[in-house]
Amino acid sequence: MSHATTRTTLLVLEGFVAFTALFGAVFVVPTLPLDWIRTGPLTDFTIPAVALGVFVGGSAVVAFGLLTLDHRWSAVASMIAGALMIVFEFVEIAVVGLAVIEHGAENLVSWLQLVYIGLGIAGMTLGYHLWQSPAIPRAYTRHAH
């Protein structure tokens, strides 16, 4: 995969993750049934919503911005964003369980943990591929005066 194709794919992925994480933090997570966290240390979804918005959504926004600028740190930012997403999902699974098993495969929201772990892996993998790319992003070049 070329540098441009990898970068474009990451732009789409990070844009999607940024939008859905921020949307989810504001409109989805606060409306989840409280019985989903009844066995964990939390009494409501405030902390998960903030973590989703700040860490997952925020890191994807940063990665998207750096990718848009073709900045030399965009690959690292994408790998970090992917890792933060995976960590978020594993912490969520530790607190509420694997939703697809705990709350039923027929519930679309139950599949999001697995989907976002996959997107995190994709972000890390594509970020690593971009980092290893022999192409030199515009931000690396020096302009002769």
Dihedral of alpha carbons 84, 90, 91, 93, sign: positive
CB atoms within 10 A of CB 101: 10
Q: What is the pLDDT of residue 103?
A: 76
45, two tokens: 């979804």
Fold of 3-136: Butyryl-CoA Dehydrogenase, subunit A; domain 3 (1.20.140)
Q: Render the burial of 9-39: b for 16+ CB within 10 Å, e for the rest.
A: bbbebbbebbebbbebbeebbeebeeebbee
Contact present, 6 and 129 (Cβ < 8 Å):
yes
Q: What is the pLDDT of residue 35?
A: 83
Q: What is the pLDDT of residue 14?
A: 98
Predicted TM-score (pTM) of the model is: 0.87
Q: What is the pLDDT of residue 145?
A: 47
Question: Of 64, 50, 49, nearest to 18 (Cα)?
Answer: 64
Q: What is the pLDDT of residue 75?
A: 96
Q: What is the pLDDT along the chain (145 residues), one digit of tens a residue?
A: 898 999 999 999 999 999 999 999 999 889 988 887 877 788 889 999 999 999 999 999 999 999 999 998 999 999 999 999 999 999 988 888 888 888 788 877 778 899 999 999 999 999 999 999 877 555 554 544 4
Q: What is the pLDDT of residue 140?
A: 52
Q: Distance from first CA to last CA of the chain, Å, rounded?
A: 34
CA 121 to chain centre: 9
Q: What is the pLDDT of residue 137?
A: 57
